[in-house]
Chain A
Amino acid sequence: MRFLISFIIVLLLNASCAGTANTAKNIEDGDNDMQISIFDGSALKNIKGSKHKFVAEHNISSDYYGVIFITKKGFYPKAVLFKSTGRPVEMDKPDLKRLKETNVGILTGVVYKAVTGGKIREHNGIITTFKDELVTFMKDFFPHTAVTDENGIFMILLDAGEYNIVFGSKETGKITIEPGKTVIKNIQKGLRLID
């Protein structure tokens, strides 16, 4: 009898360890689902990377800015504002914090002023971002407001559904939030055309 009980316990332990190993494997697989995008003030481009790091090629002129967004389903995203040196950006894939809430998604983005053009020297990128900017998302006439941080980046949890974006007292578009997913919505405030 004792032997039987011991054997069952050993089996249960084994099963739990096996389960843990499987979860770890899922995390590794999940890393491959990590989405990395770079925003240069004009377009959001996806980047491919290896399991642990990525190299983001871009055409952002030196001394202007870009934003790298790292997203993964079921996790909080990360947004990194960087100043271009004209060379590709290399980064290690960061650890993301798991999203515990269900039925919510995340909306993130940057409020920026873009620069483009230049007959003599190319100017391309984000010239500045805006901190303490209010961005409102309306659903069923109910407002949800996000405020940008010192890097001009905002992040807000929203229930799944469709929202109207209100910025500067104007509606600037719609977005759809899905559970567990991150939506990137960058908002242009200001523009400089060189030449």
Chain B
Amino acid sequence: MRKISLVLFAIFFIVVSYSNSSAKEDSIKLIQKAYHNREIDYQTALNYKVYALFKNKKNKLPKDYQSDEPIKSGTPIVFEAKQNSHLLFKDNEFILFRPTDSGDSEYYGSGVTVWTYNSTGGHFKIHYTEDNTNGDAVYGSDGNQATIPQYIIDLALYLENSWDQIITSMVYTQPPSDGTAGGDGRFDVYLIDMNAYGYTDYDSSPSNCYIVIENDFSESVFLSNLDSNHRQGAQKVTVAHEFFHASQFQYTTNITANGWWMEATATWMEDVIYPAVKDYLNYLGQKYDDSNDNGSWDSGETYYQIDGVTVAGTTGRSTSRWFDHPEYSLDSTTGTHEYGDIIWAKYLSETYGDSVIKSIWTRIGGSSTALTAISDELVSKGTILSSTFGSFESANYKRTYTDGTYYPLIRHSATYTSYSQTVTGSLNHLSSNFYAFKADGTTSTLTLTFTNMNSGNLAVKLVLTKTGGGYDEQDVSLNSSSVTSQISNFGTSSTYSKVVAIIMNISSSQDSVAFSIRADKSSSSSGGGGGGGGSGCFIATAAYGSYLAPEVQILRRFRDRWLMNSFKFQVSLLGSPRRVRLSADESPEATSFKLEIPNVIGRAFVGLYYKFSPPVAGYIKRHDVLRTTTRFALTPVVYALKYPQIFLLVMLTCTIMLYRKKRFRQ
């Protein structure tokens, strides 16, 4: 009995040991051992190791070499296979190529035949299939390799055109040859069924990049463009877009800092090479009728397809596009914002020429980030980013672009028709809010007060809508903690029917910068009396050319402070009370009270001035000689008001001198 137990125990021990020893070795070790023992030759060992590496080939490995132990590192096997490629079995040759080159791949699927077509210009190799097993057959496939689908021929033409424009004409850096990747040194383009227009990719180095493009653009989402053949339009813009990415990779691969600019300018390049397609309009937002003039689209208001003419509907307009979100930072990648940033690239190129985009890319290639490169390029052009950003937002409001008739109204944060209003908020870097202040039938003065906005991170531009059409603009100088801007002739039957305040954060990095605006409207003075802040100084405005001229502002301040204002006193009672006109807060027990005496003479003068001066001002405005003469006459008045102490000193000196002269004569 004891012997039987010992034998059983020994058998058990041997079986367990054998299992454990096998299980501890991975397939590679088992194969290597068999090769060293001369059980298999080198070629067999090499190919067995490749089988062992890929799960979908493991069943080709003899059972003696199969193991559950994971392989520590597959890289040496791949290197060894590539170095001994002539020894590989046919079904292991896939390891030498990019996955999409072989029929046995994750992209086209097992057993799918992939053909190639070389573009006539010699720069591109297009990889495609006409086997629709997995849905990847290109548009117009007939299954005959001898007949090239028109889709492929068109694509090749668009690719060569993009090369000619981007590399030859505009001299952007070309992607270098990828050696034999894809079969030869041509730039490789693969056509696959995707849920995207296409993509540009590199694995190990930007010099090895390639493009993958949608195989048929059959889904309606691709066909929203203005090309007469929408499918070709989609091909054109995708080719231009993706190939420009391939060039961009030669400048930078830093998507964190530059991703937004890469997409903005790739979308811009679509429009440069194929301006008739205008696929980019899909990322700016659909044009709409702002029937209630509140500065944004409301359900029920008509909106249009990207041609700006064909009605799309009155409900369901997307509000996620670029012009719907001026509060997004310029470099935001929320949603499709970076594609809509084409508008920034268009503003720069329409202002400075297409070469400005190339110059910025050259700076990025020198290791600048996109924002720094843009900023430096603008400095080289004699301006700065903050100023350019302000002009850019003004252009967005007025839509003063070549394609501006297609663009929607930029979304306003609010529109006001009643006053006073206080508006507060905060902005992230390089973003804006638009606020509209609308006039009514009466002529008045709109006063905007900007409080604590003098950190240097904010800027304000006022766009004044003229009742007769067109705009005036005014930059507000935020140089103190409280800055006031007054817009006179504010009325639908006066000069300006609306004022849009564009509040901007012009910093490249500061977020959540607070702003505060107060809007007041006061009625204009006509006849005698009335409050301050009435219409402009007509004669002075005519003489100096603008109601915003510094001299006119000095005269206006004098009018508001001295002529229209009341004289206020604080009276202290000493002994018996005095009979004077008392203010409302008087009480019998008060020992002091406030006294306010209206400037009757000043107000009467202003009333007469506004009654009789407009026709005089109109006459002066039409005659340059009169304007010069009026300016000459007003100059001492203006300087007396501007420097009252010096003026009084001069007057006193002149008086003394005259008196002494008179005495001398006597």
On A, residues with C-beta under 8 Å from B are 42-43, 113-114, 116-123, 131-132, 150, 168, 188-195
Which A residues are in CB contact (< 8 Å) with B199? 117, 192-195
Of A117, A121, A192, most B-chain CB atoms within 10 Å? A117
Which B residues are in CB contact (< 8 Å) with A120? 195-197, 221
How many A-B Cβ pairs are below 8 Å? Answer: 72
Chain B residues numbered 190-211 whose CB sits less than 8 Å from any CB in chain A: 195-205
Please name 29 pairs of A and B residues whose Cβ atoms are closer than 8 Å in the assembled complex, sorted by A: A42-B256, A42-B259, A116-B255, A116-B333, A117-B263, A117-B338, A118-B196, A119-B197, A119-B283, A120-B196, A120-B221, A121-B195, A123-B196, A131-B73, A131-B75, A132-B73, A150-B70, A188-B253, A191-B255, A192-B199, A192-B200, A193-B259, A193-B262, A193-B263, A193-B266, A194-B199, A195-B197, A195-B199, A195-B238
When the two chains form their complex, are residues A119 and B245 in contact, meaning their CB atoms are under 8 A apart?
no
Rounded to whole angstroms, the CA-CA distance of A43 and B257 in the bound complex is 10
Chain B residues numbered 236-253 whose CB sits less than 8 Å from any CB in chain A: 238, 241, 245, 249, 253
Partner of B336, one of A119, A189, A191: A119
When the two chains form their complex, are residues B255 and A195 in contact, meaning their CB atoms are under 8 A apart?
no
Q: Besides A42-B256, A192-B200, A195-B198, 17 other CB < 8 A contacts?
A: A116-B259, A119-B197, A119-B282, A119-B339, A132-B73, A188-B253, A190-B201, A191-B249, A193-B201, A193-B255, A194-B196, A194-B199, A195-B197, A195-B199, A195-B241, A195-B263, A195-B339
Q: A43-B256, A116-B259 are known contacts. Are A193 and B74 too (CB-CB below 8 A)?
A: no
Of A119, A188, A194, most B-chain CB atoms within 10 Å? A119
Which B residues are in CB contact (< 8 Å) with A192? 199-201
The A interface is mostly helix, strand or loop, or mixed, namely loop
Of A42, A116, A150, most B-chain CB atoms within 10 Å? A116
When the two chains form their complex, are residues B256 and A191 in contact, meaning their CB atoms are under 8 A apart?
no
| Contact flags B568-611 to A (C-beta < 8 A → 1, else 0) | 00000000000000000000000000000000000000000000
| Contact flags B164-198 to A (C-beta < 8 A → 1, else 0) | 00000000000000000000000000000001111
Partner of A189, one of B70, B203, B256: B203
The residue on A at minimum CB distance from B209 is: A191
When the two chains form their complex, are residues A119 and B203 in contact, meaning their CB atoms are under 8 A apart?
no
Which A residues are in CB contact (< 8 Å) with B339? 119, 195
Chain B residues numbered 292-338 whose CB sits less than 8 Å from any CB in chain A: 333, 335-336, 338
Partner of B255, one of A114, A132, A189: A114
Rounded to whole angstroms, the CA-CA distance of A127 and B112 in the bound complex is 25
Q: Separation in Å of the A130 CB from the closest CB of chain B?
A: 9
Rounded to whole angstroms, the CA-CA distance of A191 and B246 in the bound complex is 11
Which A residues are in CB contact (< 8 Å) with B335? 122
The residue on A at minimum CB distance from B241 is: A195
Rounded to whole angstroms, the CA-CA distance of A98 and B262 in the bound complex is 44
The residue on A at minimum CB distance from B73 is: A132
On B, residues with C-beta under 8 Å from A are 70, 73-75, 195-205, 221, 238, 241, 245, 249, 253, 255-256, 259, 262-263, 266, 282-283, 333, 335-336, 338-339
Which A residues are in CB contact (< 8 Å) with B198? 194-195
Rounded to whole angstroms, the CA-CA distance of A42 and B258 in the bound complex is 11
Rounded to whole angstroms, the CA-CA distance of A113 and B204 in the bound complex is 9
Rounded to whole angstroms, the CA-CA distance of A191 and B250 in the bound complex is 12
Which B residues are in CB contact (< 8 Å) with A123? 196
Which A residues are in CB contact (< 8 Å) with B253? 188, 191
Which B residues are in CB contact (< 8 Å) with A150? 70
Which A residues are in CB contact (< 8 Å) with B266? 193
Rounded to whole angstroms, the CA-CA distance of A132 and B73 in the bound complex is 7
Rounded to whole angstroms, the CA-CA distance of A116 and B205 in the bound complex is 17
Q: Separation in Å of the B325 CB from the closest CB of chain A?
A: 15
Q: Separation in Å of the B235 CB from the closest CB of chain A?
A: 14
Q: A117-B263, A118-B196, A120-B221 are known contacts. Are A193 and B73 too (CB-CB below 8 A)?
A: no
Partner of A191, one of B202, B238, B283: B202
Q: Separation in Å of the B267 CB from the closest CB of chain A?
A: 9
Which A residues are in CB contact (< 8 Å) with B245? 193
Q: Separation in Å of the A42 CB from the closest CB of chain B?
A: 5
Q: A42-B256, A116-B259, A119-B196 are known contacts. Are A132 and B75 too (CB-CB below 8 A)?
A: yes
Which A residues are in CB contact (< 8 Å) with B203? 113, 189-190
Q: Separation in Å of the B279 CB from the closest CB of chain A?
A: 9
Rounded to whole angstroms, the CA-CA distance of A150 and B253 in the bound complex is 24
Rounded to whole angstroms, the CA-CA distance of A193 and B221 in the bound complex is 19
Which B residues are in CB contact (< 8 Å) with A188? 253
Which A residues are in CB contact (< 8 Å) with B221? 120
The residue on A at minimum CB distance from B75 is: A132
Q: Separation in Å of the A115 CB from the closest CB of chain B?
A: 8
Rounded to whole angstroms, the CA-CA distance of A113 and B199 in the bound complex is 14
Q: Separation in Å of the A175 CB from the closest CB of chain B?
A: 17
Which A residues are in CB contact (< 8 Å) with B74? 131-132
Which B residues are in CB contact (< 8 Å) with A114? 255
Which A residues are in CB contact (< 8 Å) with B75? 131-132
Rounded to whole angstroms, the CA-CA distance of A120 and B194 in the bound complex is 11
Rounded to whole angstroms, the CA-CA distance of A168 and B336 in the bound complex is 33
Which B residues are in CB contact (< 8 Å) with A42? 255-256, 259
Task: List the 9 closest A-B pairs by CB distance, nearest first.
Answer: A132-B75, A192-B201, A194-B199, A190-B203, A195-B197, A132-B73, A42-B256, A194-B196, A193-B200
When the two chains form their complex, are residues B196 and A121 in contact, meaning their CB atoms are under 8 A apart?
yes
Rounded to whole angstroms, the CA-CA distance of A188 and B258 in the bound complex is 14
Rounded to whole angstroms, the CA-CA distance of A114 and B256 in the bound complex is 10
Q: Separation in Å of the B564 CB from the closest CB of chain A?
A: 57
Q: Separation in Å of the A129 CB from the closest CB of chain B?
A: 12
Which A residues are in CB contact (< 8 Å) with B338? 117
Q: Separation in Å of the B379 CB from the closest CB of chain A?
A: 27
Rounded to whole angstroms, the CA-CA distance of A117 and B245 in the bound complex is 12
Which B residues are in CB contact (< 8 Å) with A195? 196-199, 238, 241, 263, 339
The residue on B at minimum CB distance from A124 is: B333
The residue on A at minimum CB distance from B199 is: A194
Rounded to whole angstroms, the CA-CA distance of A32 and B166 in the bound complex is 54
Rounded to whole angstroms, the CA-CA distance of A89 and B283 in the bound complex is 31
Rounded to whole angstroms, the CA-CA distance of A192 and B205 in the bound complex is 12
Rounded to whole angstroms, the CA-CA distance of A194 and B266 in the bound complex is 11
Q: Separation in Å of the B172 CB from the closest CB of chain A?
A: 16
When the two chains form their complex, are residues B196 and A168 in contact, meaning their CB atoms are under 8 A apart?
no
Which B residues are in CB contact (< 8 Å) with A113? 203
Rounded to whole angstroms, the CA-CA distance of A189 and B209 in the bound complex is 12
Rounded to whole angstroms, the CA-CA distance of A123 and B199 in the bound complex is 11
Rounded to whole angstroms, the CA-CA distance of A146 and B545 in the bound complex is 73
When the two chains form their complex, are residues B197 and A189 in contact, meaning their CB atoms are under 8 A apart?
no
Rounded to whole angstroms, the CA-CA distance of A42 and B256 in the bound complex is 5
Q: Separation in Å of the B52 CB from the closest CB of chain A?
A: 15
Of B200, B221, B282, B335, most A-chain CB atoms within 10 Å? B200
Which B residues are in CB contact (< 8 Å) with A117? 199, 259, 263, 338
Q: Separation in Å of the B82 CB from the closest CB of chain A?
A: 14
Rounded to whole angstroms, the CA-CA distance of A118 and B253 in the bound complex is 17
Rounded to whole angstroms, the CA-CA distance of A144 and B19 in the bound complex is 39
Q: Separation in Å of the B343 CB from the closest CB of chain A?
A: 15
Which B residues are in CB contact (< 8 Å) with A191? 201-202, 249, 253, 255
Rounded to whole angstroms, the CA-CA distance of A89 and B201 in the bound complex is 28
Rounded to whole angstroms, the CA-CA distance of A121 and B205 in the bound complex is 26
Q: Separation in Å of the B178 CB from the closest CB of chain A?
A: 14
Rounded to whole angstroms, the CA-CA distance of A122 and B334 in the bound complex is 9
Which B residues are in CB contact (< 8 Å) with A118? 196
The residue on B at minimum CB distance from A192 is: B201
Rounded to whole angstroms, the CA-CA distance of A133 and B475 in the bound complex is 56
Rounded to whole angstroms, the CA-CA distance of A131 and B238 in the bound complex is 33
When the two chains form their complex, are residues A168 and B263 in contact, meaning their CB atoms are under 8 A apart?
no
Rounded to whole angstroms, the CA-CA distance of A123 and B335 in the bound complex is 10
Rounded to whole angstroms, the CA-CA distance of A122 and B338 in the bound complex is 12
